């Protein structure tokens, strides 16, 4: 049971890491701590 839970946690961590890394390497304004400034740039991204 512990192995299954640990494997689940590991899989979730790898998935989150993969998604975050993918988002970060795109150069999008995705950093959580700057969220209030990010929407300013999202608009241009959609339009471009």
Which residues of this protein are in contact with another protein, per CB under 8 A? 2, 5-6, 9-10, 12-14, 16-17, 20-21, 24-41, 43-44
To another protein, the closest distance from the beta carbon of 13 in angstroms equals 4
| CA-to-CA separations, 44 to 3, 24, 25, in angstroms, rounded | 46, 18, 18
Rounded distance between C-alpha atoms, residue 1 and residue 43, angstroms = 47
Residue matched to tokens 């999008």: 28
Query: What is the nearest approach in angstroms of another protein to the Cβ of residue 8?
Result: 11
CB of 38 to another protein, least distance (A): 6
């Amino acid at each position: 049971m512990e192995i299954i839970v640990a494997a689940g946690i590991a899989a979730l961590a790898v998935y989150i890491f993969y998604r975050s890394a993918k988002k970060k390497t795109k150069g999008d304004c995705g950093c959580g701590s700057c969220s209030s400034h990010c929407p300013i740039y999202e608009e241009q991204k959609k339009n471009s």
